[in-house]
Each structure stands twice: as C-alpha cells, then as structure tokens.
Amino acid sequence: MPDIALVTGTSSGMGLVAAVALARSGLTVVATMRDTTRATALLEAADAAGVQLDVRTLDVTDEAGMAGCVDSVLRDHGRVDVLVNNAGRGCVGTAEQLDLATVREQLEVNYLGVVALTKLVLPGMREAGHGRVVTVTSVGGAVGQPFADAYCGAKFAVEGFMQSLAVVMERFGVWVSVIEPAAVASDFVSNAQLPTDADDPYAQLLAAYLERSRGAFANAQSAADAGAAIASCATAQSYAFRWQTSPGATAFVGMSLADLDGERVLGATRSWIA
C-alpha cells in the first residue's frame, strides 16, 4: 500500500508543488489548507500531472480543527506515514514596531501549530515503527535577519524543537527533518508595509532592507524548484536532519552554523540596512 502523506499549506507556492510531486511519487496525499475554496490551482496542477489528491481543511492555529482533521485522515486512510509541515506566514518589523499580538501570531502559525500537528501524528508513527516528519522552516531558522525579529524567532524555535525531537524519534524509526528554503519567488516585498508614522526612527533602515529584498526576490528560487526539493526530502532513501532547497540556501545556512562568535552573520546582514 502507498504511504499516506499529510501536507499543510497547499493552496499555492511550495506546498502546492510538493503535494503534487509527492502524489506523482506514488504517495496518497492529503493536501490541506485553511480555505478549500482556494483549491482551484492545486486541483488544476494535480489534473495536469495526472494525479489525485484528497483535499481537506486544516488551519494550523485551530487546535481542535487539527485534531479533527487528523482523526478523519486516520479513519479514512488508516495512518499518516509522512507529515509535511509547510504552512507558514511571514512578518516584517523590528522589535519596537511589533505589537505582542503580532509576535504571538507568528509563534502560533510558525511554531506552536507545527508542534501541535506533529504531536497528533507521532503516536501512530511510533507504534508503526516508521514515519517521517518534514518541517519547512527557512534560512531564517538558522540566520537571524534585520526586520524579521518575530519571524526568525519563531523559525529558530521550531528548528530547536525538531532538532531536539529528532534523535528521540529516530529510536522508533521516525525520521524528523527540517528543510530550509532561501528566498522563493513571491509577493513578499510588494506586500510588506512601510511604517505609516513619518517619525518612525526605523523607517529609513526598513526602506533599505526592502530595497535589498527586492533584488533577492527578483533572483529567487522558483516555488516549483523549492517544492520539488521538499518532496525529495520527504521521500529520500537516506536520512539527514537538515536540508536546504538550493545551493544559495546551503551557503547561507552554513555561514551561520559555522559562526561561533556571531560576527560572520552580523557582518553580512549589516549591509542589508546600509
């Protein structure tokens, strides 16, 4: 019987591509999103690829809804062999610009929701003696970046959680991994809002950061490539905890992991707000 994969955040972008790629690899894919009325692009991509998907509602900020979704998948498919935690949300702003509600929202979507959903599938994987949990984080889970305080904080948190979990679950045959994309083509910059307060002391620095980001996103990895890399991680025959979706992401993450006093990262990112 084919493995059963549960993928979050599949209405667009990397999640959409990963869900279709996993189905093309022979897995039975439960593709989830907050609002299934937005499933048109996903279903069209699946049809073009000649595969079928089981599309369901799942909001990673709704604990009861997540439990209900997992229960229904277990009832209909019997198990979850692969979980791809892809749903996430970005945020631009430095500490003083952020209200705590925004910080909490980042934690709910990018960290606590991932933890809650992972906890729901682990018992079945542990009892079966096999399974995979793949969490899409970001290079921002290894490299703190200007004006990404809340986002990087949440991504650092989820990477710490998963790295701590990995060695324990490995004893039960469950592989826990994170996959770290760099910039992926999106509307990130155009959707970012500059401070409306003309006296905001950070306005000029933020404008410089966004200008630099325009260049990064203009040359970003495509969602198709990043999504394919996620699917490859989820179906790989050999285990690694940490994956990246591109050579650029690998180089960027590697800079931080080898940065014992922190100066390499700070030296690189200072220029982003010059």
* Beta partners for residue 175, in sequence order: 132
Tokens describing residue 38:
């937005």
CA distances from 76 to 28, 131, 270 (A): 12, 18, 52
Q: What is the pLDDT of residue 215?
A: 80
Which spans in 113-198 are helix H?
Answer: 113-128, 149-170, 188-191
CA distance 208 to 211: 5
Q: What is the pLDDT of residue 274?
A: 85
Q: What is the pLDDT of residue 185?
A: 76
Q: What is the pLDDT of residue 214?
A: 82
Domains of the chain as residue ranges with CATH: 4-273 (3.40.50.720)
Rounded to the nearest 10 degrees, how much is the dihedral formed by the CA atoms of 247, 253, 256, 258? -60
Contact between residue 30 and residue 79 where contact means Cβ atoms under 8 Å apart = no
**Active site residue: 151, 202, 209, 239, which one?**
151
CA distance 46 to 16: 9
Tokens describing residue 60:
């990673």
Q: What is the pLDDT of residue 266?
A: 95
Q: What is the pLDDT of residue 264?
A: 93
Q: What is the pLDDT of residue 145?
A: 94
CA distance 10 to 240: 24
- 202 included as an active-site residue: no
Tens-level pLDDT at each residue, the chain (274 residues): 899 999 999 999 999 999 999 999 999 999 999 999 999 999 999 999 999 999 999 999 999 999 999 999 999 999 999 999 999 999 999 999 999 999 999 999 999 999 999 999 999 999 999 999 999 999 999 999 999 999 999 999 999 999 999 999 999 999 999 999 998 876 555 555 555 666 889 999 998 998 888 888 777 889 999 999 999 999 999 999 999 999 999 999 999 999 999 999 999 999 999 8
**What count of other Cβ atoms lies within 10 Å of the Cβ of residue 263?**
9
